[in-house]
Structure 1
């Protein structure tokens, strides 16, 4: 029988989605098969925004018909006739059947949109008690005086206790950020033994986006990429006047609503959105089912302005938009990151986890690994420099990392250009420090440091100055002098442009002869480390031993117990030849240098990862069949193998992670995506956590 938790709110719009995201983030690090259950949903039962958000974010295997068995309309018929027991019975039967499939089931309480909102906490308490599920209570502090919050929390506790519910804790959400600490102190004083956590209100979470407008109005997106549709709508105006009278209204965040035949306004909006010197409107809604002409549409697409066409007339569209409220929806990366960042910052997740009953899985899935990487980076936040500050992917990833409180960031580039680019694509990077290498007051000291480090190569102060203006060198020197903890580059630079400055300035760890790389291979049921698949073409036996030692340390840093397989075409003493002899010698050197590591080699790939084959080919060896670190004899073998496993086993390959440097620098692919950048920055931060701080030069 699976374990479970019921999340219920004590009032409408308390922020149950934030609680659900935070709890699932906690669970996803520890539990393999997670299910969702929602006793009641709105509408006709064919979709539910909160379930869709969680399924999309955590890749959950959930069937809506099974997870959400009853609509409010179904429940209303029973409640109006006085048969609440029928609602409870139906929920218990569906839940009992569902929980057989999962290790843990998260139950999502009602949304206070049904016919009996005033008694929904009683209904949720009754359901939780009958499902035998402990409860996390969510109480809104929005628009409340601090003195009123303890009473609201106590009232919710009283209702839950009266129904026999077990309370694991209370999440007070949407508190006035200025008075959050005051509210928390009052809550602790009123009930010092009760676990309660207070989250400040974040405007970004309730901000309306263009995507939400398009969905609510059943609109057709004419222009704008998915990321552009996440722009926030600060206010909306009607395009009912001539262009000179409308232009002054087009401020940043404004959504213009106008008839589809107003090509003059559409062209003006495109011009506004294309200019770095003008505000960036949120988007354009064209009404009456009228579509701008093809040339105007081309101008709008070139401007990156989100454009949505709706069948409603302008007045009706404005009326509909006025009644909308922003939500955290599937695909809202900015809002999700912000919600998780606040949850992590203000909730004692270890205490919460200790109060939720669940069995930790020994399986490590790709989702578990990815969530764990972000949470470990948050736990000891580091400062990372991104030299490619004007790249759109870097800016979108920076916003997500900052909102999620994963790291602190330094972006390199002209501040004006970066700010204009960020505004044009609708991202908020205000929390990042932006440094222009060519104008930074740090330039003289960093140039002097570079000249000192490269004096043996004849580098003068003048040459050093010219070299350090380059963002890759400037960023690397920020790492070397301890001003930042690590660097991630490569979205627009080559691997050589990333690694060369690191080799010149940061250099390798004492005792390690070379920089190498690891791919963290997230298979469906485990995570393996593959090396070297990206840097060294044909390492010697001594270098191969260094690569294996570095990879074992990298694996351990990411929670992978290192069991090292030195891969070859032969296992044990069964083969000979120059290539297998190199692996045999490397194995001997590794065993001599690192007696702490369990090692097998030479060993074939199947004998390294398949327990049955390992027991047959290398009986009695603890690594055979159970290897977690696989070291390949050359780049040709390593690169081909990681790509074959990635494609054939549907594995997620994270990396390459550079290793062997004294301080972490990592390389991106020039085809990297925003999630790739987010993951690589988090990995760099974790690497930095195990490095002793450098003194600032």
Structure 2
């Protein structure tokens, strides 16, 4: 899938993240008319974010400020502390996907890890980028580190990104001295990942008078419009006599001096007009003091050059301490800094290469949250009616509420309306949008009994037995699907697999040309989704049945956006083994190749050769499937069921299923140990299947 976003991140403050964002935005705006800027986490919701303000203003982005950010740090930390990280990522996904669907491209800028509390023991930026599916640009600040430490950081950052399954787009190393840059150029010669080395430009990191005004909430005593962008190199405290202090001043100093030190003030103005002394940038009066009226008269009477003067409420010590915590910012009005920054970027970065890379970069990452979001989006785009016959189970009711609120499907619940409404109120749920049918007293009952009797009378079913069957909620719900009163059914939270599938086989039946109903699980690993079949229904399929299962599983994978590369699993790879079990898999593989010559398939193949590229290169070096398989077909139920549970429990994978395939209309089975989120996902999948019928 072609990427439509980039994620820029830096761990430290003053790493030049905004300059990289600015450079990337310059490249994007050359070709793309509609570009969005998004910061998943900002510092404070009630304070305008400087980076958002700058990028949207400078590049005249057609986007509202409120759409440019997700949440503030306070909210993010409270969600993580409440063990609601997944919910947080889901909420960010909704905001991000809205932009991705509306704009040509979304440039994302992360939060510095140093801004988050120490109890967050994972890189939030990587987790967000992972789930956005955004290639990652990391920025390293080389200012305070040795060249060797910077080199180690480059390697570690890349290893971390690769191990987390992120697409590493590029690394920018900022604020390099000439000798550090020379060392890194030599060390990184031939390095496989694109790394851009940018020299330190001192002026870019200097404070401006506007930085001081905003950070210290300073009042202006004397300030022209042009003075806001004046640079400050150092801060000095005027605690000496004028005679001694004049020796200490340097070019572009900010001087903190009490307003009643008239001799210092006059001396600084004298230095401004003297060729023998440097020019300072600004004077700050602590204590909110005012200069003597005669001093004011003298200063304001000067008609050529002047020194900007600010005042602050804090005392001299507090003011000096606060100034050490002020950080340089770039603003739309910072013409000189912008020119310097873009000049630095363009002289060190191959813009054409980046432009081509953006155009050609694709992303195959699929996290569990991404897959879930995709399911919800697909289901919601063509909403279907899903009947849930097991309304006596609390998990079903909770899942129904989520499905309704997320717009996944229209929900039909079977049960007594008064009891269901009371239960939902007791649980604090809102099921007002659900349709409730008391199936035992429904006007549909007679029609369903007659229909079932006509369908099965030749097999010996009596009218009385038909009536008894329809009293069972699974039979009634299945008939609702068959006759079009519902589009799909989900059951199994309190019923066995047989209780769910039997009515479907008797009423809905299999699709033409399909000999067997089978199942798959979507195995959502950290950065990919695999399809496992059959792990729930067919105990020991013969070669023909195994071929049917594989073809059906490949179609299911394709219908959910997973490119099918089928591995027919066995304890042997290629021709290395023999025996009845291996021969069955080999025969099934050959049948599939005859029936579907376009399908990528390999078998027999061992699991390690199917999933791991290093093993695949040794065992099947010329295979288009080995090491890259997405659909895994197990030779029997014993192997499949144990494997999916082992992977689920040992790797914390999310297993969605079993998803039934081969029926004329969608009916899906739940595990009796299912969680609420499992039910919601199965509802979404059933709704998608119904939309594809």
Query: What TM-score, normalized to structure 2?
Result: 0.55
Other-structure match for 2:408: 406
Closer/same/farther in 2, CA of residues 168 and 655 from structure 1, 3 Å limit: farther
Using the alignment, how far apart are the partners of 2:648 and 2:593 within structure 1? 29
Shift in CA distance, 411/339, structure 1 to aligned 2, threshold 3 Å:
farther
CA distance in 2, matches of 1:654, 1:127: 40
Deviation at 1:399, TM superposition (A): 0.8
- Taking the aligned partners of 2:480 and 2:670, their CA distance within structure 1 comes to 19
Question: SS at 2:568's partner residue?
Answer: strand
* CA–CA separation in structure 2 for the residues paired with 1:544 and 1:526: 25
Q: Give distance in 1, aligned partners of 2:517 and 2:15.
A: 58
Q: Secondary structure at the match of 1:630?
A: strand
Matching residue of 2:364: 362
**CA 1:171–1:449: 2 relative to 1, 3 Å:** farther
- Cα distance change, pair 385–334 in 1 and its aligned pair in 2 (3 A): farther
Distance 1:601 1:337, change over 3 A: closer
Q: Which runs of 5+ in 1 are unaligned?
A: 1-26, 38-65, 70-89, 114-119, 135-160, 174-195, 197-211, 217-225, 227-328, 692-697
- Aligned match of 1:490: 492
- For each residue in 1:503-543, what CA deviation from the matched residue of structure 2 results, as whole angstroms up to 9, or x when unmatched? 11111122221111111112223211111111111111111
Given that 2:18 and 2:51 are in contact with CA atoms closer than 8 Å, whether structure 1 keeps it comes out as no
- CA deviations over 1:653-686 (Å, ceiling 9, x no partner): 2211111111111111111111111111111111
Change (3 A) 1:363 1:477: same
> For residue 508 of structure 1, what is the aligned residue in structure 2?
510
Compared CA separation, residues 333 and 629, structure 1 to 2 (3 A): closer
- Residue in structure 1 matched with residue 390 of structure 2 by the alignment: 388
Of 37, 51, 63, the residue aligned with 1:127 is 51
Aligned-partner Cα distance in 2 for 1:509–1:368 = 31
Matches within 5 A, 1:13-412: 106-109=39-42, 113=46, 120=47, 123-124=48-49, 126-130=50-54, 132=55, 134=56, 161=57, 164-170=58-64, 331=84, 351-357=101-107, 361-412=363-414
- 2:425 is matched with 423
- Secondary structure of 1:493's counterpart equals coil
- Displacement after TM superposition at 1:615 (Å): 2.8
Q: Secondary structure at the match of 2:502?
A: helix
Separation in 1 of the partners of 2:564 and 2:89? 33
Distance in 2 of aligned mates of 1:36 and 1:625: 31
Distance 1:339 1:588, change over 3 A: closer
Q: For 1:409 and 1:555, how far apart are their aligned partners in 2?
A: 25
Question: What residue number does 1:238 align with?
Answer: none
- Structure 1: distance between partners of 2:566 and 2:406: 34
Which residue is equivalent to 2:31?
A: none
SS in 1 for 2:370: helix
Helix, strand or coil for the counterpart of 2:501? helix
CA offset at residue 340 of structure 1? 8.9
1:661 aligns with 2:663: yes
Q: How many residues align?
A: 421
TM-score normalised by L of structure 1: 0.55
| Structure number with bigger Rg | 2
Q: Structure 1, residues 405-434: CA drift from partner, whole Å, max 9, x if none?
A: 111110011111111100111100000100
CA gap of 1:106–1:348, structure 2 versus 1, over 3 A, is closer
- Counterpart in 1 of 2:522? 520
Query: Structure 1 residues 605, 171: closer, same or farther in 2, change over 3 A?
Result: same
Task: Measure, in 2, the Cα distance between the counterparts of 1:685 and 1:99.
Answer: 43
Q: Is the 8 A contact 2:586 2:604 kept in 1?
A: yes
SS in 2 for 1:679: helix
| Further displaced range: 452-461 or 548-557 | 452-461
Aligned structure 1 segments of 4 or more residues deviating by more than 6 angstroms: 29-37, 94-100, 332-341
CA deviation digits over 1:291-312, x for unaligned, max 9? xxxxxxxxxxxxxxxxxxxxxx
- Cα distance in 2, alignment partners of residues 647 and 689 from structure 1: 32
Answer yes or no: is the 8 Å Cα contact 2:489–2:668 preserved in 1: yes
Contact 2:367 2:524 in 1 (8 A): yes
**Distance in 2 separating the partners of 1:336 and 1:562:** 28
Distance change (3 Å), C-alpha of 1:351 and 1:613:
closer
The Cα shift of 1:30 comes to 6.8
**Displacement of 1:355:** 4.6
| Distance in 2 separating the partners of 1:383 and 1:486 | 7
CA, structure 1 residues 35+470, in 2 after alignment: closer, same or farther (shift >3 Å)? farther
Question: Unaligned regions of 5+ residues in structure 2, if any?
Answer: 24-36, 69-74, 108-133, 136-361
Alpha-carbon RMSD across the aligned residues, in angstroms, is 3.8
**Contact 1:129/1:165, CA 8 A, preserved across alignment:** no
Contact 1:402-1:432 at 8 Å conserved across structures? yes
Give SS of 1:544's match: helix
Give the Cα separation in 1 of the matches to 2:387 and 2:394.
Answer: 16
8 Å Cα contact 1:34/1:106 also seen in 2 = no
Deviates more, 1:468-477 or 1:610-619: 610-619
Most deviating of 367-376 and 639-648: 639-648
- Structure 2 contact 4–105 (Cα < 8 Å) conserved: no
Distance 2:435 2:86 in 1: 22
Alignment-derived partner of residue 232 in structure 2: none
Distance 1:422 1:338, change over 3 A: farther
Q: Which residue of 1 aligns with 2:568?
A: 566
Distance 2:92 2:403 in 1: 12
* Distance in 1 between residues matched to 2:601 and 2:386, nearest whole Å: 34
List per-residue Cα deviations over 1:437-481 (Å, max 9, x = no partner): 111111111112211211222223333222112110011011111
Q: Return the alpha-carbon distance in structure 1 between the equivalents of residues 106 and 6 of structure 2.
A: 16
d(CA) in 1 for partners of 2:657 and 2:628?
22
Residue in structure 2 matched with residue 76 of structure 1 by the alignment = none
Task: Measure the CA separation in 1 of the matches of 2:674 and 2:4.
Answer: 29
